[in-house]
Chain A
Amino acid sequence: MTYAIEAEGLVKYYGNKQVLQGLNMNVKTGEIFGLIGANGAGKSTTIDCLLGTKKLDQGTVNILGTSPTTKHKSLFEQIGVQFQESAFQNGLTVKEICEITHSLYKNPIDWRTKLADYQLEHHVRSSISTLSGGERQKLCILLATMGQPKLLVLDELTTGLDPVARRQIWNNLRKLNDEGVTILLTSHDMHEIEALCDRILLLKHGNVFMEGTVQEVLSKSGAKSMDDAYLQLTGEGIR
């Protein structure tokens, strides 16, 4: 068994507040792994610490066999990232951001043909600011996959999207996963978690609360759906 991400004993403080409390997590190569938890549980911080965009106070991270802080350039040839906010220079068009992103990688995809997979082929010359929320998220995923990554990290990618846009994004992610891309995602949408994830990790107060396949988590909690399981596990009066 090989791991795309191995993280051990992650500790992170913001001032005096400890947000990660010695978190361990492993993402297997080729799986879709869901990181879930309430707002403030430490999901985004975990992702930042894994990628090296925030400095760890303690712990070790190994991504695709190397540390994210050394060999930065070669590692990020193989990792595609979508943060919570879609961060672009204001006013760029789809074509312009695609061309810029395309130029960042050694072996980029042909983005013009891929636009059709994301139903964006009619928006080549549109300004990003005129796209709908769903279109923008699809563009973000397309951009994250531009370098043909082995690992895709997606932070709350379908928050606020309509069901159709969500399904389209799920299909695209499944397709990428079938092609061998490992995916780490965070989500508040338990249907999404059930539909996509091979394994999940429930984060509470910066530590592992429960971990396993969706089935394992359901049986441990005794709930019928992930929605119920989530409420049971994170709500008051657990167990």
Chain B
Amino acid sequence: MRTFWLLYVAEFKLSFREMSSFIFGLFLPVGIMVIMGYLSTTNEELVTTFAAVATLGLVSTGVMSLPLSLSSYREKKVLKRYKVTPISPVQLLVAHVFYCFSLSILSMFTVSLVALFGFNMIFPGSIGLFLISYLFVMISIHSIGILIASTSPREKTTAAMSSLLFFSMFILSGATIPFDLLPSVLQSIAQLLPLTHGIELLQSQALGSPFTSYSSLLLLFVITIAATTLSLRFFRWE
């Protein structure tokens, strides 16, 4: 347990020293929330925006930090090194996943504080259901990150795959540009991205509107199961 705690704390420190996860996962969402807060004219718009921006943390740790770190640990033989100690390298992987979850949740809370206290957001939905949905979307997007790490042959390929997925979700899923403003062609493309469905789910929970996003829920569930299964099948230690 002590090893796990040390590894978990080390992941935080390493990430803080390197900064990019904090910039993309924490500072960027907060900045975007501030801008979008000023642009929102009604509380409904503000809540819709909040639910979307709150996912920027999980998508940046899920498809950027997680696969990049795992690829790098494999390529630099860090995982192999832990194989010749009394513990399993699984502990390092789990420590990193927990770090990603922690940063995602921290990002969501910070964004919510900005919306609540900076722009007087009134949250009409159920906080409990919103949090549960958030955790579900977070796990789902991270399972995609693990799949990238498991199937990518090397660190550079991972970086390319991660950036492609991150920026397409960042721009098209409604996390920055409201989905309704996109031209219909881009809207159809965006429907292919898992985060679009995650945001739809979160927005309906945040607004407290009657639940109709069954297809999004099912899709994310299938993605999570499939990505996890494939990762277990293809993951390599070195």
**Which residues does A use to contact B, with CB under 8 Å?**
51, 53, 72-74, 76-77, 79, 81, 83, 85, 87-92, 96, 99-101, 103-106, 147
Of the candidates A51, A81, A92, A105, the one whose C-beta lies within 8 Å of that of B14 is A92
Find the A residue at minimum CB distance from B72.
A90
How far, in whole Å, are A76 and B2 apart by their CA atoms in the complex? 18
What total of chain B residues lie within 8 Å of the partner, measured CB to CB?
23
Given A76-B85, A87-B80, 10 additional A-B pairs, CB 8 A? A53-B80, A81-B84, A89-B11, A90-B72, A91-B14, A96-B6, A101-B85, A105-B86, A106-B86, A147-B85
Of the candidates B18, B76, B86, the one whose C-beta lies within 8 Å of that of A104 is B86
Q: List 7 A-B contacts (CB under 8 A).
A: A76-B84, A76-B85, A81-B84, A87-B76, A90-B14, A90-B76, A92-B10
A100 and B6: CB pair below 8 A? yes
**B1-30 CB contacts (< 8 Å) to partner A:** 2-3, 6-7, 10-11, 13-14, 17-18
Smallest CB separation, A98 vs chain B (Å): 10
Smallest CB separation, B119 vs chain A (Å): 37
Q: Report if B78 contacts A (CB, 8 A).
A: yes
Smallest CB separation, A46 vs chain B (Å): 14
How far, in whole Å, are A105 and B85 apart by their CA atoms in the complex? 8
Q: Report if B81 contacts A (CB, 8 A).
A: yes
B76 and A96: CB pair below 8 A? no
**Which residues does B use to contact A, with CB under 8 Å?**
2-3, 6-7, 10-11, 13-14, 17-18, 72-73, 76-78, 80-81, 83-87, 238
How far, in whole Å, are A99 and B81 apart by their CA atoms in the complex? 16
Most buried by A among B3, B77, B81: B81
Of the candidates A73, A90, A92, the one whose C-beta lies within 8 Å of that of B86 is A73
B84 and A53: CB pair below 8 A? yes
B10 and A88: CB pair below 8 A? no
Find the B residue at minimum CB distance from A80.
B84
A90 surroundings in chain B (CB, below 8 A):
14, 18, 72, 76
How far, in whole Å, are A96 and B16 apart by their CA atoms in the complex? 15
**Known interface pairs A89-B14, A92-B14; A104-B87 also in contact (CB < 8 Å):** yes
Most buried by A among B7, B17, B78, B86: B86
